[in-house]
Amino acid sequence: MAATDSDFAVFASGIELVDDEGASVRTNMITRGDVKRVIPNLEELVEKHPDRTARALVAHDGNRADLARVLAALGSDGWPEGGDPAEEAAAFAHHLLKQARVAKGDVDGVCWEYRGTIVV
């Protein structure tokens, strides 16, 4: 997560596909061996210091995002509808932590597809 200088050992595939609707699709993953290591980092960002994380995401987005909405996204099982990158990054961090915990219990990695244009 660039906004917080966090390294989650994400492997981003160099293969970029286009889906039936013309959107760019890229597969990413955190391997089984790295899941245990990244969970404490995610816990710090999502659960222990959500205020600091939300402020960092808003700053990284040029202070355009609503801090309260970004903070809410860090604690929500939902997905933001507005398309704000800071809110989406917060929601993704929440979901990634949740799935990493499942993967750790199942001794698996976490894999996801990103559709659309990546905003860094």
Q: Which two tokens stand for residue 76?
A: 């929500």
pLDDT digits (tens, 9 = 90+) for 61-80: 899 999 999 999 999 999 99
Residue 92 one-letter amino acid: F
98 neighbors 33 (Cβ within 8 angstroms): no
- Cβ-proximal residues to 44 (8 Å cutoff; 6+ apart), any chain: none
* Residue-level pLDDT at 120: 59
Under the banding of pLDDT at 50, 70 and 90, the label for residue 119 is: low
Tokens 């997560």 correspond to what residue?
1
Which of 80, 68, 75, 67 lies closest to 48, judged by CA? Answer: 75
- Cβ-proximal residues to 120 (8 Å cutoff; 6+ apart), any chain: 2
pLDDT digits (tens, 9 = 90+) for 4-58: 888 888 988 888 888 888 888 889 999 999 999 999 999 999 999 999 999 999 9
Which of 80, 77, 74 lies closest to 3, judged by CA? Answer: 74
Distance CA 71, CA 108 (A): 29
Distance CA 1, CA 57 (A): 9
Distance CA 52, CA 45 (A): 8
* Mean pLDDT, residues 90-104: 96
